[in-house]
A = this chain, B = another copy of it.
Amino acid sequence: MSLLDYFKITKVSSASVAKERLQILVAHERSFKNQPSYLPQLQKELLQVIQKYVNVGQDSISVNFEQDDHQETLEVNIVLPDNHTKKS
């Protein structure tokens, strides 16, 4: 199953919810233990980029970060407000 298939499965169950959502996943497979992680800093910069495109407050953003010896995953879930599109 590809990751895109995963999104296709989950969208069915969430289609009943009217709110638009934006979900960002970052997975880093690591060869070596004890490397310094740059994902927390990366997360901040990713959110800054996102906020160029959509009006979204900090309270609409939930972040989940998991780490073990071989992999780090960063999951950011954003519920978009009804009038979220920024005019350029």
Contacts and interface: CB of A to CB of B under 8 A. Distances in A.
A29 B87 CA distance: 20
Contacts of A8: 71
Interface string A14-51: 11001111111111111100010010011001100110
A70 B26 contact: no
Interface of A: 1, 3-4, 6-8, 10-11, 14-15, 18-31, 35, 38, 41-42, 45-46, 49-50, 52-53, 64, 66, 70-71, 73, 75, 85
Task: Give the top 8 A-B pairs by smallest Cβ distance, nearest first.
Answer: A25-B25, A23-B27, A21-B29, A45-B49, A38-B53, A7-B27, A7-B73, A20-B31
